[in-house]
């Protein structure tokens, strides 16, 4: 009889789909750590070692693993967070080699090739395979942000595939039927049932379908045959009388084969093209032309009733280089559909648009992006980098708050170095009260002494200015006044 406690696998249902959870559960039960003597590193809750030796203390470790799982998310594999040790993970016989998940707070993990991945709360990512040339991941649930440093990273979500080459920073937010892809740096190639598209840095691809369209190879099995309409060749308007209920169920009594009856099918009229159908077929210019002939692009944006439709209209406006209408679509996504997962991406786009002309408005939209789910790490990173670029004009208290928040939430995030540099810069330029140190130093500093190459002549007893020397090479003498005027640098 098994000594393992009975724990319902449904307790893990919030981490992934049923099939993946069952595999994770099986691995949890079968690959518990060996006794302490067989492990050189200190066992850490959340990291599970594969072993084929029977474990003496399996019950204790199972409770510890379950506690870690429900408290901070299931983590199978090594984590580079400071409080966790790097423990080896064996590759099981199945395709899964590693699983990263976050419970109530984001978690950051290292990827091969110097990369890293930030898993948002309630999200699960599976490492499908790792080689010297590529890392293959599967986003099972939620959202994650990754940096591909030396080797490319591929992410699968449903039937959609996102390929991030080395040097790219990509964020993904998965829903039940679609996916949002935001590229902060570099590029990403997105392949889905809607086709293939390259997304460049600073752009977002919203509502990427991740569910395949089911089609049957045997049309007879799924589609009912068309109803034939008999036609009389001599008189096209004549129609054969409809059989009675009894006749329709009785086979013909005549032994002779019935004469063949010509039959035709009536084709359904083709529906007129709409701007949305044109956009979904990647015919953006045709969609723009159709909208301009009809209600107009701006009126359609104002009347749109969903965030996904507004993103389609944003793409149409981008095709026509209508920046004002792009902004209108994005603002409606943020202001009226703030709970939509794509609202964070829209807020980041607006922050990027307003940054050169209105930094205050750009900061407002970065703050909105940071308050939404899915792309929180990217939004907070954007805030930190924007403050770092403000130089002496930065608000020291707010900069300290945001940099500290980033380092606390994402200690190994892609902007950790930027946050540390921002804290050092603020500490060097401002005192504890938020006052600039340089201005106080300049205010109290004495006037600069005369140049050594042109020494000032000592004042006479009557404080009268000395007469200039008749020699052309002599420098004019300077007489300090009773109250020296401040230099231009102190104004």
**Domain edges within the chain:** 7-78, 102-212, 280-437
Confidence of residue 205 (pLDDT cuts 50, 70, 90): confident
Q: Are 406 and 384 in contact (CB under 8 A)?
A: yes
CATH of 280-437, one of 1.10.238.10, 1.20.120.1200, 1.25.40.10, 1.25.40.80: 1.25.40.10
- The tens digit of pLDDT for each residue in 433-459 reads 778 876 555 445 555 554 444 444 444
The CA-CA-CA angle for residues 183, 186, 190, to 5°, reads: 55
Q: In 3D, which of 83, 137, 73 has the Cα closest to residue 111?
A: 137
Q: Are 212 and 188 in contact (CB under 8 A)?
A: no
Task: Evaluate if residue 19 carries a pLDDT over 50.
Answer: yes
Q: What is the mean pLDDT of residues 196-200?
A: 88
Q: What is the mean pLDDT of residues 404-432?
A: 86
Sign of the alpha-carbon torsion through 16, 21, 27, 28: positive
Burial class (CB in 10 A: 0-12, 13-18, 19+), 474: exposed
- In this prediction, residue 384 carries a pLDDT of 86
Q: What is the mean pLDDT of residues 292-302?
A: 88
For residue 359, give the H/E element and its range. Answer: helix 359-370
CATH of 102-212, one of 3.40.30.10, 2.60.120.1440, 2.40.10.10, 4.10.80.400: 2.60.120.1440
SS3 assignment for 137-201 = EEEEECEEEEEECCCCEEEEECCEEEEECCCEEEEEEECCCEEEEEEEECEEEEEECCEEEEEEC
User: What value does the mean pLDDT of the chain take?
Assistant: 68
Output 44 or 461, whichever has higher pLDDT: 461
Q: Are 374 and 344 in contact (CB under 8 A)?
A: yes
- In this prediction, residue 154 carries a pLDDT of 94
- The tens digit of pLDDT for each residue in 222-264 reads 434 333 333 344 444 444 444 443 333 334 444 444 555 444 4
CB atoms within 10 A of CB 51: 16
- In this prediction, residue 18 carries a pLDDT of 56
- The tens digit of pLDDT for each residue in 154-172 reads 999 998 999 999 999 999 9
Burial class (CB in 10 A: 0-12, 13-18, 19+), 2: exposed
Q: Are 61 and 43 in contact (CB under 8 A)?
A: yes
DSSP class of 80: -
- The tens digit of pLDDT for each residue in 21-33 reads 555 555 445 444 4
- In this prediction, residue 374 carries a pLDDT of 56
């Amino acid at each position: 009889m098994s000594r393992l406690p009975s724990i319902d696998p449904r307790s893990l249902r919030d981490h992934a789909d049923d099939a993946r959870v069952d595999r994770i559960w099986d691995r949890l039960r079968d690959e518990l750590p060996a006794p302490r003597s067989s492990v050189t590193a200190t066992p850490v809750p959340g990291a599970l070692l594969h072993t084929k030796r029977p474990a003496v203390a399996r019950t204790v470790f199972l409770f510890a693993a379950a506690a870690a799982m429900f408290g901070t998310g299931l983590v199978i594999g090594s984590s580079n967070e400071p409080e966790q040790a790097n423990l080896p993970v064996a590759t099981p016989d199945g395709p899964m080699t590693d699983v990263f998940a976050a419970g109530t707070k984001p978690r950051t993990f290292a990827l091969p090739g110097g990369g890293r991945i930030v898993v948002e709360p309630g999200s699960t990512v599976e490492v499908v395979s790792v080689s010297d040339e590529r890392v293959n991941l599967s986003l099972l649930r939620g959202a994650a942000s990754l940096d591909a440093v030396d080797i490319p990273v591929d992410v699968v979500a449903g039937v959609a595939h996102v390929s991030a080459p080395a040097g790219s920073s990509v964020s993904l937010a998965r829903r039940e039927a679609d996916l949002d892809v935001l590229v902060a740096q570099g590029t990403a190639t997105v392949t889905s049932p809607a086709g293939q598209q390259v997304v460049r840095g600073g752009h977002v691809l919203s509502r990427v379908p991740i569910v395949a369209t089911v089609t049957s190879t045997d049309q007879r099995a799924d589609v009912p045959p068309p109803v034939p309409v008999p036609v009389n060749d001599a008189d096209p308007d004549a129609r054969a009388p409809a059989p009675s209920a009894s006749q329709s169920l009785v086979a013909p009594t005549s032994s002779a084969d019935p004469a063949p009856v010509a039959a035709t099918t009536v084709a359904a009229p083709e529906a007129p093209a709409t701007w949305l159908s044109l956009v979904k077929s990647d015919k953006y210019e045709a969609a723009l032309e159709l909208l301009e002939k009809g209600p107009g692009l701006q009126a359609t944006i104002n009347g749109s009733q969903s965030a996904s439709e507004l993103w389609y209209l944003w793409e149409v406006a981008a095709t026509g280089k209508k920046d004002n209408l792009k902004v209108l679509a994005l603002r409606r996504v943020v202001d009226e559909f703030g709970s939509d997962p794509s609202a964070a991406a829209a807020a980041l786009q607006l922050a990027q648009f307003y940054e050169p002309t209105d930094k205050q408005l750009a900061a407002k939209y970065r703050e909105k992006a940071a308050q939404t789910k899915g792309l929180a790490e990217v939004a907070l990173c954007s805030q930190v980098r924007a403050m770092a670029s403000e130089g002496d004009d930065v608000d020291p208290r707010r900069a300290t708050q945001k940099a500290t928040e980033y380092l606390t939430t994402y200690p190994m995030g892609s902007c950790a170095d930027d946050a540390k540099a921002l804290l050092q810069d603020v500490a060097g330029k401002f005192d504890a009260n938020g006052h600039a140190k340089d201005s106080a130093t300049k205010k109290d500093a004495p006037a600069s002494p005369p140049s050594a190459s042109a020494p000032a002549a000592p004042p006479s007893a009557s404080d009268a200015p000395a007469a200039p020397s008749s020699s052309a090479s002599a420098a004019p003498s300077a007489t300090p006044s009773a109250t020296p005027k401040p230099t231009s640098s102190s104004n």
